[in-house]
Amino acid sequence: MLPRRFEESVPQLGQSARADQAIRATDGDALISRISAVNAGYLHDPFASLIAKAPSSSTTRRVPLINVGTHHRTWALDKLVDSFLESGDKDKARQIVSLGAGSDTRFWRLMSRTNRPNISKYVEIDFDDVTSIKARRICMNKTLSAAISSPLPSSSSSSSDAASSIPAQTKPQVSQGGSRLDTPLYTLLPLDLRIKKDLQAQAQENGPLDVLSTLLDPELPTLFLAECVYCYMQPEESGRVIEWFAAKFKGKGGCLGVVYEMCGLDDSFGLVMRRNLQARGIQLPGAVFANPQAQAERFLKAGFEKAEGVSLRTIRRDFVPRDELERISKLEMLDEVEELELMLDHYCIAWGSVGLVGETIGLS
């Protein structure tokens, strides 16, 4: 039992911890939605189930509306990432930073391609308890660990046992109580992107992101991804993150930033979304932007040179190929078309670029 003098402080600490735990739980929801879309045939991702706790098929089944939204989100983000990797000088290595990566599998999907992209560093960032779980699953799975370890070409291991024969010098280095993994190619980094009051008082120039300076080469083109991350941060906190990337790579290797976020939560449909999340203890201090253009404008204010933003509804209407829409329409019966369009209107993807001279990056 705690001493009486500490009892008054416990509820405040508990409330903060519960709020963060609710945010972390959204990653599990996103993973279940992804596995549902994979199982239903919308997506191909053999790695999602390796990251998961192997839930039963009944608990991973989402309604068609959610599966379609997951498909459109994935299609658009994949398109932008590929556009970044394929533009400009293909002989020049690229770097990718995934903010709030959670259980994302993009790294493994990229590395499993027949023609691997020229990526020199891939960094995933999230809360330490999230990275701890992911680190354990990576280390315990040969397929996942082999990809991040990049065995030396001279390795004489047989193909049947390649993952277990990774040379010692390329095995992941585990640190920070098991919450961090490092290899020359991949880093899983525990980090809270929110700016604490004590950091503000110290007036640190770079804040939490300063640690990335030791991992990234500013002379290389760099992409940062933030999928449903900024809505949980104060706008000034997420704005500082965007500014950091602009300042770090402007006039050097250049940078592309891509965000996927909620928008327009002040209308009737958006207020229902907000209330549903609040009922789960989830607050959205950063979901204050009315439309995709407002999200894109954030890049320009932070020092990026070009920026665009589109809703998932626009992506469905103008960018996803007709034959792909026809394919997924045959997977499940979708009755809630009007509700789907409302939902898609309240999610957007925005991207901004700086220093990527002569590179055309977009959804077309």
The answer to whether the annotation marks 227 as part of a ligand binding site is: yes
Long-range CB contacts for residues 176-184, cutoff 8 Å, separation at least 24? 176/128, 177/128, 177/132, 178/132, 178/135, 178/136, 179/128, 179/129, 179/131, 179/132, 179/135, 180/131, 180/135, 181/131, 181/135, 181/138, 181/139, 181/148, 183/148, 183/149, 183/150, 184/121, 184/150
Tokens of 203: 């007036």
CA dist., res. 148 & res. 218, Å (int): 22
184 and 150 in contact (C-beta within 8 Å)? Answer: yes
The answer to whether the annotation marks 341 as part of a ligand binding site is: no
The answer to whether the annotation marks 193 as part of a ligand binding site is: yes
- Please report the DSSP string for 121-179 in residue order: EEEEEE-HHHHHHHHHHHHH-HHHHHHHH---TT----GGGTGGG--GGGSPEEETTTT
CA dist., res. 109 & res. 127, Å (int): 23
Assign residue 52 a region (left: φ > 0; alpha: ψ between -120 and 50; beta: otherwise): beta
CA dist., res. 109 & res. 88, Å (int): 22
CA dist., res. 189 & res. 186, Å (int): 10
Task: Give, in order, the Cα–Cα distances in Å from 198 to each of 126, 194, 202, 203.
Answer: 20, 11, 6, 9
| Exposed/middle/buried for residue 153 (C-beta within 10 Å: 0-12, 13-18, 19+) | exposed
Backbone angles phi, psi at 97, to 5 degrees: -125, 125
Residues of each annotated binding site for S-adenosyl-L-methionine:
73, 100, 192-193, 227
Residues of each annotated binding site:
73, 100, 192-193, 227
